[in-house]
Amino acid sequence: MTEQGPAGAKPHRPQVNAETVRRIERASGALGTAAIAAMDKRLPWFRNMSAENRSWLGLVAQAGVAAFLDWIRHPERNRPAVTEVFGTAPRELARAVSLQHAVEMVRVIIDAVEAQVDELAAPGNEAELREAVLTYAREIAFSAAQVYARTAEARGAWDARLEALVVDSLVRGETEDSLPSWASALNWSSSPVTVVVGTIGDEGEGEHKGYTASSAEPHIEELRTQARRARLDLLAGVQGNRLILVVGGIDDPIAAAERFAGRFGPGPVIAGPLVRDLRSASVSARAALAALRAAPAWPEAPRPSGADDLLPERALDGDPDARAVLISDVYEPLVGGGHALLDTLMTYLEQGSSLEATARLLFVHPNTVRYRLRRVAELTDYTPSAGRDGFTLWVAIALGRLAAKHG
């Protein structure tokens, strides 16, 4: 910061006489050229940039010299007009040039000017010009830091709004044509994708507390940090008391949910099915949210659970996707296996999973019942003797029979 005089006084700044100003005016073009040449020689990152970005930074260098000249012309100004320097280049360039690089560039430009102080200054004014150059360098560096800080803050706020928009679109099932470009702006590149949902905050508190993306931002930033460490893409959103995570770059939905489960509030944590890319993530989100709504029907469910683990509860809760899956993947294969197969399964379930009772009622050998039950497991991937699997099979058969009756 500049030194302050008495209260209310303006910061001290060196005075440059008119003859020195005229000399710098005549040499400004050469100074800009010298600054660009110095950048090319001393800054490897500048040499490695595209021709277009190098051209823009050349204009920034020339603007830096011009801003210095304008500043010493007007001694009443306390600070140089930094926007005249960095406002020369397009906004996209800020992403290619870090604050550290910007400060290095300012240093090189100032060095190019300072190297010619003896030639530029009027006789006897060398010390004043050198002081002015050093003061300008300090002020322009501080101002650059402020510009980058404001840009980062605005960028962060914009990214947060865009992230919330993407998550909201996926939750509502509205796959916008602009979704890929939104994702690219958020540096999303990973696939496959799963959506993990649960609550945020203390149990029973979320609905009343009124969580928003902004109030939950510190919590979400911790999730982003955790995802970066695991080299995963992550989009996060808060809706009411629900925390919704879109996770990219992992092959196992349950593994993804386990990684972040500790960041959720009490209650179930549900992982939606794996989908191929972000555009398909609305399918995973719909299944995960349906399972979260139906989860109270299975209080003993593991944490986390897969959305498909709650297919029967989802179907009973009115989820059409779950009903369709149970009918197509369970009921219809059983019907295709023959009447005896379906009849044996229902008898077995109604008799409390007793092989002997089922065999007696059907007038067959227990080994025949065993064979048919093995066939059920092969066709549906559900084992009738397992409690949850038996429940799922029963619900699927009931749904299939209702659909057949009303179809």
Q: Give the separation between CA 225 and CA 227, rounded to whole angstroms.
A: 5
DSSP 11-72: PP-----HHHHHHHHHHHHHHHHHHHHHHHHH-HHHHTS-HHHHHHHHHHHHHHHHHHHHHH
- Does the pTM surpass 0.85? The reply is no
The pLDDT value recorded for residue 160 is 60
List the one residue out of 271, 209, 284 whose CA is nearest residue 240.
209
Length of the chain: 407
Q: Give the separation between CA 157 and CA 169, rounded to whole angstroms.
A: 18
Query: Per the omega criterion (within 30 degrees of 0), is the bond before 192 cis?
Result: yes
**Are the CB atoms for 394 and 349 separated by under 8 Å?**
yes
Q: How far apart are the first and last CA of the chain?
A: 79
Other residues' Cβ atoms within 10 Å of the Cβ of residue 245: 27
The pLDDT value recorded for residue 25 is 85
The pLDDT value recorded for residue 337 is 92
SS3 363: coil
**Are the CB atoms for 202 and 266 separated by under 8 Å?**
yes
The pLDDT value recorded for residue 4 is 42
The pLDDT value recorded for residue 356 is 94
The pLDDT value recorded for residue 274 is 93
Q: Give the separation between CA 129 and CA 71, rounded to whole angstroms.
A: 12
* Regions of the chain where pLDDT drops below 50: 1-11, 154-155, 158, 203-209
List the one residue out of 227, 381, 362, 358 whose CA is nearest residue 309.
381
Other residues' Cβ atoms within 10 Å of the Cβ of residue 227: 23
The pLDDT value recorded for residue 203 is 44
Output the six-digit token pair for 39: 């950048």
The pLDDT value recorded for residue 152 is 53
The pLDDT value recorded for residue 315 is 97
The pLDDT value recorded for residue 82 is 55
The pLDDT value recorded for residue 54 is 81
Burial of 351 (C-beta count, 10 Å sphere; 0-12/13-18/19+): middle
Whose tokens are 């659970």? That residue is 305
**Are the CB atoms for 355 and 365 separated by under 8 Å?**
no
The pLDDT value recorded for residue 357 is 95
Positive or negative torsion for Cα 346, 349, 355, 359: negative
Q: Give the separation between CA 46 and CA 181, rounded to whole angstroms.
A: 28
Other residues' Cβ atoms within 10 Å of the Cβ of residue 81: 16
List the one residue out of 274, 305, 275, 276 whose CA is nearest residue 291.
305
